[in-house]
């Protein structure tokens, strides 16, 4: 190990490595503070060439390398294990926007670019990069692609996977694959970039990406709605999509308990009304405001909408979105949360919620379900909070019981145990339980082929 550490120091230079425990500490704990790791060194390369040398050195030494972006992931994929023998590869200094091409509607960003900065860079040429989520001020494009992140605009633009034209990747032996093409059409052979998107650093290190930009969607109208239940929300979504077509940019369902937590823990959040369920909707483009207003009037008549608050200005719209984006932070402050990021077919969403609540109440009466999500994509964050002060050992037992209820129902309804957060370490056992033997075998075949020494993010995903 000592020889490797000396090599790594030489590769990245004096400013590019850290062993100081107080500096390392936030990098060794994931956002939810559930998993804690150890490392002898964190390296922060500035160039793709340095990444390649680091990967080569770790591969030669047979030492695991854990890539880390903004460390906002929810499945502990970006922290090393507890052995103290894995190197942490922090990509924050690899953060240049290499190119913005307004005519080609494309942008090339290095992996460590913060998502909010990528969105701003697109705006400077009057273009739009649609990936957007609560953690966008901290998460990085490399992390977004590696988790195939979703966020609030998937309903119109798709997930991170749909927004990528090409990638630059360092393979497990240190070879650099420059796949930064910006073509819209390319059917020449396998679409290799897709292997690295969503693979959470287990097949290669993404060092840069060519991203798709879109025309500016135009003025956005934001409305917060009170709806009676999730069934009404799903019907309303269908009606709004019919009326406004692809002008619906976002459609989020939020349960009242999530909003209660936000109001308890986040200062200056005010809601215009109280409701068992809220919907937050964004519509943009040609006369979206008039069309949305008309569709919501129809919703009031047919009972899918109980109350509406259309934001009068940007500040009010931001206020509504702040409430939505603060849910994860409010949950963290509330205490022990058992998180699930699931998806089911949209038509089964209501059934999932009704049965989920019944079964959870029977199996773990002390659990409080906290529900919110990108309902337009069939994606729910179905979390359960447990009271503080549980006896030692009981928390683990209740966590397992809660997840068994949730994932059991997901399987019955033909859903997925991870809609957008990935697998990391926290969901590994559930992946095994939910994927078929054929799928697991194909995944292992790919891992063995691309990382035969198992040095890229070992112990994650599979
Ligand atoms: C408040 C909040 C809201 C969120 N909302 C959403 C949401 O709406 N939708 C959503 O999808 N997620 C959401 N997330 C989760 C998280 O932000 C995303 O998963 C994000 O994409 C992770 O990016 P990151 O840079 O923080 O990655 P990290 O957490 O650092 O890493 C995530 C995984 O990718 C790997 N990785 C990181 N960089 C690279 C690289 N360059 N090459 C190879 N592997 C790499 C890591 O090893 C790890 O396995 C939210 C998080 C927070 C805190």
Q: Where in the chain is the domain with CATH 3.30.70.2190?
A: 220-328
Q: Which of 192, 194, 95, 202 is nearest to 142 (CA)?
A: 95
Ligand 1 pocket, residue 111 CB under 6 Å: yes
CATH 3.30.70.2740 fits 335-420+429-437, yes or no: yes
Fold of 220-328: Alpha-Beta Plaits (3.30.70)
Q: Which CATH architecture has domain 2-90?
A: 2-Layer Sandwich (3.30)
Distance 32 CA to ligand 1 centre (A): 12
Q: Where in the chain is the domain with CATH 3.30.70.2740?
A: 335-420+429-437
Distance 258 CA to ligand 1 centre (A): 22
Query: Higher-confidence residue: 270 or 438?
Result: 438
How sure is the predictor about 31, in pLDDT bands with cuts at 50, 70 and 90? confident
Q: What percent of the chain has pLDDT over 70?
A: 100
Ligand 1 pocket, residue 146 CB under 6 Å: yes
Distance 9 CA to ligand 1 centre (A): 27
Q: What does the alpha-carbon distance between residue 34 and residue 29 come to, in Å, rounded to a whole number? A: 7
Residue 288 confidence (pLDDT)? 92
Instruction: List phi, psi (to 5°) of 334.
Output: -70, -35
Residue 375 confidence (pLDDT)? 86
Q: Per-residue pLDDT for 336 more than 90?
A: no
Distance 293 CA to ligand 1 centre (A): 35
User: Tell me: the pLDDT tens digits for 362-400?
Assistant: 999 999 999 999 888 889 999 999 988 888 788 889 999
Query: Higher-confidence residue: 393 or 152?
Result: 152
Distance 314 CA to ligand 1 centre (A): 27
Average pLDDT score, the chain = 95
Ligand 1 pocket, residue 202 CB under 6 Å: no
Q: How far is CA 249 from the centre of its chain?
A: 17
Ligand 1 pocket, residue 133 CB under 6 Å: yes
Q: Per-residue pLDDT for 11 more than 90?
A: yes
Count other Cβ atoms within 10 Å, centred on residue 309.
16
Residue 392 confidence (pLDDT)? 78
Residue 19 confidence (pLDDT)? 97
Q: Where in the chain is the domain with CATH 3.30.465.10?
A: 97-215
Residue 33 confidence (pLDDT)? 83
Distance 135 CA to ligand 1 centre (A): 8
Its CATH class, for the domain covering 97-215, is alpha beta
Across 85-89, 273-277, 380-384, 386-390, least confident range? 386-390
Specify the length of the chain in residues. Answer: 462
Residues 6+ away with beta carbon under 8 Å from 415 = 342, 343, 344, 345, 348, 352, 378
Ligand 1 atom closest to the Cα of residue 374 is 8
Report the pLDDT averaged over residues 289-306. Answer: 96
Identify which of 143, 176, 329, 416 to mutate to test ligand 1's pocket (most ligand atoms within 8 A of the CB): 143
Q: Per-residue pLDDT for 105 more than 90?
A: yes
Report whether 234 contacts 346 (CB < 8 A). yes
H or E element at residue 278: strand 277-284
User: Tell me: the pLDDT tens digits for 36-81?
Assistant: 999 999 999 999 999 999 999 999 999 999 999 999 999 999 999 9
């Amino acid at each position: 190990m000592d020889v490797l550490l000396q090599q790594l120091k030489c590769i990245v230079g004096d400013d590019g490595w850290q062993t100081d425990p107080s500096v390392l500490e936030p990098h060794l704990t994931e956002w939810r503070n559930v998993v804690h790791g150890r490392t002898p060194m964190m390296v922060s390369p500035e160039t793709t060439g340095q990444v390649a040398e680091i990967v080569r050195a770790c591969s030669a030494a047979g030492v695991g390398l854990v890539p880390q972006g903004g460390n906002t992931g929810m499945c502990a994929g970006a922290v090393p294990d507890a052995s103290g023998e894995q190197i942490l590869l922090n990509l924050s200094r690899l953060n240049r926007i290499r190119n913005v091409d307004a005519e080609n509607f494309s942008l090339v960003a290095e992996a460590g670019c913060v998502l909010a900065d990528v969105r701003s860079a697109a705006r400077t040429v009057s273009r739009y990069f649609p990936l957007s989520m609560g953690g966008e001020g901290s998460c990085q494009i490399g992390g977004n692609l590696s988790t195939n992140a979703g966020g609030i605009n998937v309903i119109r633009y798709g997930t991170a996977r749909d927004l990528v034209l090409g990638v630059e990747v360092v393979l497990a032996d240190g070879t650099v694959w420059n796949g930064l093409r910006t073509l819209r059409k390319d059917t020449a052979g396998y679409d290799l970039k897709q292997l690295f998107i969503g693979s959470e650093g287990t097949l290669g290190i993404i060092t840069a990406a060519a991203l798709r930009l879109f025309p500016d969607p135009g003025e956005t109208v934001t409305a917060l709605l009170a709806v009676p239940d999730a069934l009404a929300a799903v019907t309303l979504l269908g009606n709004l999509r019919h009326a406004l077509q692809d002008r619906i940019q976002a459609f989020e369902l939020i349960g009242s308990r999530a909003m209660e937590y936000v109001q308890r823990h986040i200062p200056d959040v005010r809601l215009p009304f109280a409701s068992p369920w809220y919907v937050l909707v964004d519509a943009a483009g040609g006369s979206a405001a008039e069309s949305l207003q008309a569709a919501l009037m129809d919703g009031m008549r047919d009972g899918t909408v109980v109350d509406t608050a259309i934001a009068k200005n940007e500040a009010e719209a931001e206020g509504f979105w702040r409430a939505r984006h603060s849910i994860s932070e409010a949950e963290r402050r509330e205490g022990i949360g058992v998180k699930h990021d699931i998806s089911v077919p949209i038509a089964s969403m209501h059934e999932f919620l009704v049965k989920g609540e019944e079964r959870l109440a029977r199996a773990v009466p002390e659990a409080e379900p906290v529900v919110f999500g990108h309902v337009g994509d069939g994606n729910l964050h179905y979390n359960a909070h447990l009271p503080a002060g549980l006896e030692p050992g009981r928390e683990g037992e209740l966590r397992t019981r809660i997840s068994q209820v949730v994932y059991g129902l997901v399987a019955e309804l033909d859903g997925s145990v991870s809609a957008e957060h990935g697998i990391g370490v926290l969901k590994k056992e559930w992946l095994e339980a939910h994927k078929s033997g054929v799928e697991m075998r194909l995944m292992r075949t790919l891992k063995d082929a691309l990382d035969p020494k198992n040095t890229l993010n070992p112990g994650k995903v599979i």
